[in-house]
Homo-oligomer: A and B are copies of this chain.
Amino acid sequence: MIAHIVSTGDEVLLGDLVDTNASFLCTALKEMGIGVQKIIAIGDDVDVIVSTIGDISLQADICLVTGGLGPTKDDLTSFACSKAADDRLVLHKDALESMRLYFLKRGLRLEKRHEKQAILPSGSKILTNHNGTAPGFYITINKCLFVFMPGVPSEMKMMFETEVKKVLAETFNLSNEILIERLTVFGLPESKVGFLLNDFETNFPEMRLGFRAGFPVIEVKIVVYDTLHNEKKSQSDLGKAKQWVIERLGENIVSPQGLSMAQEVGRLLVQQKKTLAVAEACTGGLISNMMSDVAGCSEYFKFGAAACSDYAKITILNVQEETISEYGAVHEKTALEMAQGVRHKADTDFGVATCGIASPGEGIEGKQVGTVCIGLAGPSVLEAKTYRFAFADRHLNKKMFAVTALDLLRNHLAKQS
């Protein structure tokens, strides 16, 4: 089965927008067992849209098109589709009704000027838009099923999940029972993860493995198609595959549930009824920001100090002046005192601290860019470690330092539970 994806709209061609819709649809189709052969982005130009649809109608079996369904004059998709399909445009009753209901729910009335969005090729069937006004539609042209969706990502995604999946499953007789497990991994480059898992498909030929790198954490995804419609068996197979992956990657598994590093640390803290404060020199607030990105964090994340100056380290975190003058601002001893200091100040169970060199120009004698010292203080732990990374980029170093610090705490917590 050959699938193509078409994104329409001048924004993408002008470089003002990166096309994330296509990436979402590729992943979603892959999970249904459908491979994409080509992605095409074109502007709001009727002739180009018509000829693109015409070409694809002879080459592909499925084509998902996004964009150009709105009310303004540069929304040309429906008109172009009718030309390519050699079909006439009609005021589509079902589309109008679907729009009327959308407005009704919001206490609004459908006005005449909205009607353009319900003018569709007569041979098309409509797809409800739960997150916006313009309905989608689908129609077969030559050998290809064309599905037209809005370009706004939230509208498109909702329409794909609730409407399009069903249409594709029915038309192509696909099993749309898909079971997925996600695991997050840290501390290995993607190539190493791939290498460690490279005989996965030999062991589990009925499953697929996917990776998504979100530096510096990697998400490993295991997908199984429940073709036998025996969810219990599929679930148990998936469990075995997951166990196999966990054994291969060991301590590098952050979360077998696919949680982010901050979510997993939060989960462990809640489970163990513990609280956390952090003191950050080189990461400058990034760890705090990551922890506070998780809703409900105030239950366990109590305080973060971005202590960029020695003055703040000494007066607010109670680091000994002599420690800094004797060992320097980037040292395990300093990291340890920062961790103890912030733990004490905020009266939490754990304190985590970072000091290091994130970018050139912050050079401290004898210390290389990419060096970080991490301190961890808690009820039964008091340790500091030094790591050295090789990034020249400030943002990459900050991220790597922050996730490494949280990983040290995560490993400690995991051993307690």
For A280, list chain B residues within 8 Å (CB).
Answer: 288
The B-contacting residues of A in range 78-92, CB under 8 angstroms, are none
For A19, list chain B residues within 8 Å (CB).
Answer: 18-19, 22-23, 39
Bound-complex Cα distance A190 to B406 (A): 37
Bound-complex Cα distance A277 to B316 (A): 12
Is A103 on the interface with B (CB-CB < 8 A)? no
| A312/B362 contact (C-beta < 8 A), A40-B40, A291-B284 known | no
Is A23 in contact with B17, judged by CB distance below 8 angstroms?
A: yes
| A285/B292 contact (C-beta < 8 A), A42-B38, A309-B302 known | yes
Contact with B along A276-308 (1 / 0, CB 8 A): 010010011111111111011110011111111
Bound-complex Cα distance A12 to B196 (A): 23
For A398, list chain B residues within 8 Å (CB).
Answer: 292-293
Q: Which of A29-37, A171-179, A241-249, A378-386 contacts B (4 or more CB under 8 A)?
A: A29-37
For A27, list chain B residues within 8 Å (CB).
Answer: 14-16
| A15/B30 contact (C-beta < 8 A), A295-B359, A359-B295 known | yes
Is A288 in contact with B302, judged by CB distance below 8 angstroms?
A: no
For A28, list chain B residues within 8 Å (CB).
Answer: 15
| A292/B316 contact (C-beta < 8 A), A16-B212, A41-B39 known | no
Q: How far is the CB of A390 from chain B (nearest CB, A)?
A: 15
Bound-complex Cα distance A303 to B25 (A): 44
Contact with B along A367-387 (1 / 0, CB 8 A): 000000000000000000000
Contact with B along A218-241 (1 / 0, CB 8 A): 000000000000000000000000
Chain A residues bordering chain B, tally (CB within 8 A): 72
| A40/B38 contact (C-beta < 8 A), A298-B362, A305-B305 known | yes
Bound-complex Cα distance A316 to B303 (A): 9
For A45, list chain B residues within 8 Å (CB).
Answer: 37
Q: How far is the CB of A327 from chain B (nearest CB, A)?
A: 18
Bound-complex Cα distance A204 to B287 (A): 47
| A308/B312 contact (C-beta < 8 A), A41-B39, A285-B287 known | no
B16, B37, B297, B312: which contacts A48 (Cβ < 8 A)? B37
Is A20 on the interface with B (CB-CB < 8 A)? yes
Q: Which residue of B lies closest to A18 (CB)?
A: B23
Contact with B along A260-283 (1 / 0, CB 8 A): 000000000000000001001001
Bound-complex Cα distance A316 to B279 (A): 13
For A285, list chain B residues within 8 Å (CB).
Answer: 285-292, 304, 306
Bound-complex Cα distance A211 to B14 (A): 10
For A359, list chain B residues within 8 Å (CB).
Answer: 295
Is A107 on the interface with B (CB-CB < 8 A)? no
For A39, list chain B residues within 8 Å (CB).
Answer: 12-13, 19, 39-42
Other 18 A-B pairs with CB < 8 A, given A13-B26, A285-B291: A15-B24, A16-B27, A16-B211, A16-B212, A38-B48, A285-B286, A285-B287, A285-B288, A285-B290, A286-B289, A288-B289, A293-B394, A296-B361, A298-B308, A303-B308, A304-B306, A311-B346, A316-B345
Can you list 7 A-B pairs, Cβ within 8 angstroms, ordered by A?
A: A19-B23, A37-B43, A39-B40, A283-B292, A284-B289, A293-B398, A303-B312
| Residues in A lying within 8 Å of B, measured CB to CB | 12-20, 22-28, 30, 35-43, 45, 48, 52, 210-213, 277, 280, 283-293, 295-298, 301-309, 311-312, 315-316, 345-347, 359, 361-362, 394-395, 398
